[in-house]
């Protein structure tokens, strides 16, 4: 029998993507959808592409409307999940797509987000290797009842460079990452700089100079991957594509490491992973090849003259970057097959 599901924040981009994927998943049944200002409206009034859920009406986001379900997905603004989740029963699987429970360090939360730290939950990046044990994060997800879904940029950078950190073939103290990012990651709220008239034909940076909230999360992940110290220059660039992230991350080669050693590190990391695919030598991913899919595609090369590894990773920020990762992690927590119901084929053209 399918697990009953409530999605809080169902009127937003992440909530809508959760619903799109859940409707095709045989192990989940969406019963309740909640919103704030859109409460009382039919779901299809704000998510007109979700025709299979036309029978659902958005209700207020309260502990009462979320209780009584096996799984609750929270697709809420940062800072809104902590207090709400605290009022849900411990035996309910709660999956937070926001930032409230990602960071383990309260000081990092205070610096980059502000306010009270809600505490860290089990981190929802199944493919992340623990450098000290060689185990993967999916082992930590088994049986948990509280999951923090990673940030979308964090996923792109972590999956891109972590294998080199774990294998010791790159220096984690000299990382540079520049990302081309679609505006859907910023949510549905009306913001002037995200208007089509402002974005089309233009590209602009944001969160420059170590101020982006995803920086401490990337550092946290790479320490898990085996780095003693992490220094990263992280620059996201807003570009006029609705979805997608293309992250180009470079790192200094460790002494005595060859191009063969580098490729072997990534091959070992992802040979058996269903959703992270290392491309053949000389090939690099496009965001277009990941749209609608729960995949992260990775290409890499060694720049011999600069003595740096260059890794290019691409994913759909709303799928592998958010909703797909949430459902994949929830399946692992419930003892289900993580590959069921999640597409690896993108939409083209």
Quickly list DSSP for 43-74.
HHHH-TT-GGGTT-B-EE--HHHHTT-SEEEE
Give residue for tokens 């073939």.
169
Q: Can 97 be counted among the known catalytic residues?
A: no
Give the closest residue to 225 by CA, choosing from 150, 131, 159, 138.
131
Q: Return the structure tokens found at 177.
A: 């990452």
Per-residue exposure over 140-166, b if at least 16 CB sit within 10 Å of its own CB, e if not: bbeebbbbbbbbbbbbbbbbbbbbbbb
Residues forming beta bridges with residue 299, ordered by sequence position: 312
Give residue for tokens 């780095």.
227
Residues 6+ apart with CB under 8 A from 21: 294, 319, 323, 324, 327, 341, 342
Q: Return the structure tokens found at 159.
A: 């999956």
Residue 155: its H or E element: helix 152-167
Give the closest residue to 248 by CA, choosing from 203, 275, 286.
286
Count other Cβ atoms within 10 Å, centred on residue 131.
19
Q: Which of 43, 152, 165, 230 is catalytic?
A: 152
Residues 6+ apart with CB under 8 A from 130: 136, 137, 224, 225, 226
Q: How far is residue 154 CA from its own chain's centroid? A: 7
Q: Return the structure tokens found at 231.
A: 């220094």
Query: Annotated catalytic sites, by residue?
Result: 152
């Amino acid at each position: 029998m399918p697990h009953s599901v409530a999605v809080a924040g169902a009127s937003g981009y992440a909530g809508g993507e959760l619903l799109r994927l859940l409707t095709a998943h045989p192990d989940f049944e969406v019963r309740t959808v909640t919103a704030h200002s859109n409460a009382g409206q039919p779901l299809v009034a704000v998510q007109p592409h979700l025709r299979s859920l036309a029978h659902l009406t958005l209700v207020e986001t309260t502990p009462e409307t979320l209780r009584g379900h096996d799984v609750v997905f929270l697709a809420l603004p940062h800072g809104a999940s902590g207090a709400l989740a605290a009022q849900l029963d411990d035996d309910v699987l709660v999956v937070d797509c926001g930032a409230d429970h990602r960071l383990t360090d309260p000081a990092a939360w205070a610096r980059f987000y502000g306010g009270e730290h809600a505490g860290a939950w089990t981190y929802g990046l199944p493919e992340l290797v623990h450098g000290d044990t060689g185990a993967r994060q999916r082992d930590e997800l088994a049986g948990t009842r509280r999951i923090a879904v990673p940030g979308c940029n964090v996923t792109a950078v972590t999956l891109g460079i972590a294998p080199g950190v774990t294998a010791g073939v790159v220096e984690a103290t000299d990382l540079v990452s520049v990302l081309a990012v679609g505006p859907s990651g910023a949510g549905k709220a009306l913001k002037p700089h995200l208007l089509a008239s402002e974005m089309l034909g233009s590209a602009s940076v944001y969160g420059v100079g170590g101020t982006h909230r995803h920086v401490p999360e990337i550092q946290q992940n790479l320490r898990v991957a085996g780095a003693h110290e992490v220094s990263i220059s992280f620059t996201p660039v807003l570009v006029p594509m609705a979805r997608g992230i293309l992250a180009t991350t470079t790192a200094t080669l460790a002494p005595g490491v060859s191009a063969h050693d580098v490729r072997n590190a990534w091959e070992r990391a992802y040979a058996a992973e269903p959703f992270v695919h290392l491309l053949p030598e000389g090939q690099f991913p496009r965001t277009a090849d990941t749209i609608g899919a729960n995949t992260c595609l990775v290409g890499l090369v060694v720049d011999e003259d600069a003595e740096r590894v260059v890794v290019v990773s691409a994913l759909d920020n709303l799928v592998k970057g958010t909703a797909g990762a949430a459902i994949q992690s929830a399946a692992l927590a419930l003892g289900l097959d993580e590959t069921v119901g999640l597409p690896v084929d993108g939409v083209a053209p």
